[in-house]
Amino acid sequence: MNAPAQAVRFGSGKTVRRIEDPALVTGRGQFTDDVTLPNQSHVAFVRSQYAHAKILSIDTSAALAVPGVAGVYKGADLVAAGVKPLSAPLPFPRPDGKPGATAMRRVLAHERVRYVGEAVAAVVADTREAAINAAEALMIDYEELPSVVDGVLAMKPGAPVLCPEAPDNIASAMRHGDAAAANAAFDKAAVRVSVDIVNQRLAPTSIEPRVVLAYPEEGTDRVVIRLSSQMPTSVRDGVGNALGIGPDKVRVLVGDVGGGFGMKTGAYPEDVFCAFAARALKRPVKWCSQRIEEFQASTHGRDAVSHAEMALDANGKVLALRVRGVANVGAYASVTGTVIPLLIGPWVTTSIYDIQVIDLQFTAVMTNTMPVGAYRGAGRPEAIYITERLMDAAAREMKMDPSEVRRRNMIRPEQMPYKNPMAQEYDVGEFEKIMDQTLALADWKGFDARKAESTKRGKLRGRGVSTFLEWTGGNVLTESVTVNVLPDGFIELTSATQAMGQGIATSYAQLAVDVFGVSIDRIRVKQGDTDRANGFGSAGSRSLFTGGSAVQAASEKTVDHAKTLAANALEAPAADIEYSAGRFSVKGTDVGIGLFELAGKQGDARISVEASASASAPSWPNACHVAEVEVDPLTGVVEIVAYASVSDIGRVVSPAIVQGQVDGGAMQGIGQALCERVVYDNESGQLLTASFMDYAMPRADIFRAFKTHFDTSVPCKTNPLGVKGVGELGTIGATPTVVTAVIDAVASAGQGRAAERMQMPLVAEQVWRALQGEYPPAPLA
């Protein structure tokens, strides 16, 4: 049977207009701050101006006297009310074998503050202005304590201690691989290279700041929380547990989300407080974060330093990989914050290379800084950056083309399925083919001519290449979707995954069009309501990988179920019923019934079906990126003049969305390479980059001459759709690609050692200093 015309036009593999966009571009989108309820109050938090201090007293009298104030709350008030800490047991031990350690993170700091920006008190008032005025009237007496913001310094004897269970501030530590085998490999190696790496701290900086609106549900004892989040169920569970009321007493609603990037996962202290206050005051309570609060008190990313070494034989084959790293996880070590550097990063450290001997040692350290959590890529960018820098160092040491040393170490297709030394199994991958396509796309062989032309204009030209993979799926590999066919002519898909600007609703709708054969405007995707669907949410590039498979399964199950209903309605055997383009018919006749008419004939005026789909394992998307840069030797200014990438992400459902994901991800990776960095003052612990005046974001003029291609010839074998995660892939590859290109340019001026010692972000001053032969000390020295 030929595919219905509507499916041909709007189904998977086609570029269509995003179904999310009409509401957004006409101002009809609904973000949390767009919602205002009757009798709504507003929250202002009082945040610590100290990085580390004892709270001696809090005088609330002046704040309570401000007109319109409904309540003023301290940490002690919440403790007395039974609000529980947000910290959870850590999955990895400390180096002494004792359980992982962290101070208990409270909703409002109680007795001690541990980072600048930690919430100490909260004011609820009739207006936002009154809440801010009252917050400024609070009198808090602190006893300032010594602080430490550097992870390496925090482990040294005499450093300020964040919690007694960790006198060395080490929350957890892990070691992977075979140290003895690695030592033996290094002893016999013909070539040994090493790099010192700083993966600097980053602020996710989504366009929409965090917003929370909590209110008592009318007629029940539940609380409803409307907020900007990637993981509604996680917020529901976190709030319910913290308040001691259980998840069943909490409903979470999420509307439009202006970006997440991993930062909007789980329950924040502010979420819990708003729910607590709404229950206590029996009225709606809203908090909208100011941008300075986003920098101070929303989860940061990265912040790891490493010393890495690679041993190779005389032909450039890698014999062993050795890494020692320290991850600064902030004032409160979370499960996510420790799992990312201690386990997820190590999973991909050997990347697409056939390296079986490793010795990886990582330590998670607490400091007086904002806690670190997931940020686009979450461990994979840090690990891949290390390995790609080592590959480039090996190429320079052996005077080999950087693509050639990678080629000699790639896992071959005939080795699939391949198990890496971290026991992670890759199902498929044709890595050399992807690299060859990228080199051709970038005109790799024509570089010397372009370099000569740049030299004539007084510019230093450099190129970088990265070949890599990533792990996706979050290891939560099952998702469910409910399909409701309604008599008004719409098909609703309800999922616990969450849209956050990535266009997932459009991709789901295209998959449904494949099955139902109706126009895409007949498909409505419902997300963000824990009363309708619960699950892991959207993180780890899993939405299409798991949720899309569930859409296909539920859609097919719906058509099969509806055939039985149509058979009854048409008084014909089910085996004689055909379905096409929204209509059931009896074979060989013109007797039939429309899908939506059939739905209206059911007892509840709908056809409702739920189905689940599971992946058998994670997916392993992979790619090759090539960048060319020009450096002005007089100023150190870096300009990206060419960028090419080919990505293997298996089947592509929405080509334009996929390109947006890869290119947008690459821009975030370039931001880390060239300009972004969260900075705390080493002496006072003050956050020095608390606004866009000080925290530099990548600009649109960076995005020029990008060539982005996809290879869809190697579908994933671990999920029914054959898709591979894509949302974080561009970020992972862009950072090492651009950095190695800048290193190549600076090294061409005779400053090879200084070039290799540069650390991100490669701002103009640092590049200029490297060109003068200056470089910073090794981070783990």
Q: What are 18-63's pLDDT values in tens digits?
A: 999 999 999 999 999 999 999 999 999 999 999 999 999 999 999 9
Distance CA 128, CA 502 (A): 31
Where residue 236 falls among pLDDT bands split at 50, 70, 90? very high
CATH fold for domain 33-145+205-297:
Aldehyde Oxidoreductase; domain 3 (3.90.1170)
Question: Is pLDDT of 238 > 60?
Answer: yes
Query: Is the full-model pTM beyond 0.85?
Result: yes
Q: Tell how strand 69-74 and strand 170-177 pair up.
A: unpaired
Residue ranges of domains in the chain: 5-30+474-614, 33-145+205-297, 348-353+380-472+619-771
Q: Which two tokens stand for residue 242?
A: 């913290």
Side by side, which strands form the sheet with 191-202? 170-177, 358-366, 318-330, 301-312, 191-202
Axis crossing angle, helix 764-771 with helix 729-747, rounded to the nearest 10: 30
Question: Is pLDDT of 433 > 50?
Answer: yes
Q: Is the peptide bond before 91 cis (omega within 30 degrees of 0)?
A: no
H or E element at residue 276: helix 269-281
Short-list 202, 149, 198, CA closest to 677: 202
Provide the Cα torsion 57, 60, 63, 65; round to 10°: -150
Question: Is pLDDT of 216 > 90?
Answer: yes
Higher pLDDT, 251 or 4: 251
Side by side, which strands form the sheet with 622-631? 460-469, 622-631, 638-648, 706-711
Q: Which two tokens stand for residue 143?
A: 């006893």
Q: What are 666-675's pLDDT values in tens digits?
A: 999 999 999 9
Phi, psi of 91 (to 5 degrees): -80, -10
Which CATH architecture does the domain made up of 5-30+474-614 adopt? Answer: 2-Layer Sandwich (3.30)
Distance CA 526, CA 493 (A): 6
Residue 3 has a pLDDT of: 58
Residue 700 has a pLDDT of: 86
Residue 6 has a pLDDT of: 65
Question: Is pLDDT of 284 > 70?
Answer: yes
Residue 702 has a pLDDT of: 80
3-state secondary structure of 156: coil
Q: What are 620-665's pLDDT values in tens digits?
A: 999 999 999 999 999 999 999 999 999 999 999 999 999 999 999 9
The number of helices, as runs of H, and strands, as runs of E, in the chain is 23, 28
Distance CA 213, CA 225 (A): 6
Question: Is pLDDT of 127 > 50?
Answer: yes
Longest dimension (CA), the chain: 87
Where residue 1 falls among pLDDT bands split at 50, 70, 90? very low
| Over residues 386-408, mean pLDDT | 98
Q: Which two tokens stand for residue 259?
A: 């970006």
Domain 348-353+380-472+619-771 has CATH 3.40.309.10: no
Asked, colleague to colleague, whether 5-30+474-614 and 33-145+205-297 share their fold, the answer is no
